Amino acid sequence: LQPRYENFKQDLQWVATERGYFDAKMVVSQIRVRLEDNRADIKLHFDTGKRYQFGQINFPDDAFAPEFLRRYLDFQSGDPYNAARLLSLQSDLVSSDYFNQVEVEAPLAQAEDYTVPVDVRLSPRKANKYSFGLGYGTDTGVRGKASVEGRYLNRWGHHYRAELVASQIQYSLGGEYIIPG
């Protein structure tokens, strides 16, 4: 019983922190074992305190327009704090293929009036990606492929892809210009 009880209290504290109840504390935590009845009475009083909220969300303004980066947010200043939303933002930015490194922080030490700022640090990928390939097929003979990807053309995330595929019997050239929606 004791290990389950201690694990429950730790889980309770973890969930409170994850949901922005940073001042939460266990006020009463008692177990009274009654051997004669073969039972235990548990008394818990967990005071969550006030829930913190997201404060100002700070993006770097060097490579991309803040308006473009804000499209990745599924929360805004004033929303209740939730660590899962910070992880989701980080995951979405990493998956965007615009950045090598993404750091999303909500420094509790900078909180004022139960409001925690959110700082996003980004390291852009190289602007262009090139790839080349050679091969041979019995139906095509020697073949080659070359492609270029412009990962970002402007501060609003526009990008393009171009590809040339050529063999002894056929060739193709294709491209696309992508404007994020």
Q: What would the two tokens of residue 55 be?
A: 């404060």
pLDDT tens per residue across span 33-87: 888 988 888 899 999 999 999 999 999 878 788 889 999 999 999 999 999 999 9
pLDDT for 149-170, tens place per residue? 998 889 899 999 999 999 988 8
Q: What is the pLDDT of residue 23?
A: 95
DSSP SS3 for 3: helix
- Rounded to an integer, the average pLDDT of 11-38 is 92
Start-end of H helices in 19-132: 66-69, 83-95
Model pLDDT, residue 1: 61
**How many other CB atoms sit within 10 Å of the CB of residue 59?**
20
Q: What is the rounded CA–CA span in Å between residue 123 and residue 102?
A: 7
Q: Report pLDDT for 139.
A: 86
- Summarize pLDDT for 117-145 with one digit per residue, the tens: 999 999 989 989 999 999 998 888 899 99
Check whether 174 has a pLDDT greater than 80: yes
Whether pLDDT at 2 is above 80: no
> What is the structure's pLDDT at 61?
78
Q: Report pLDDT for 131.
A: 96
Q: Which pLDDT value is given to residue 176?
A: 96
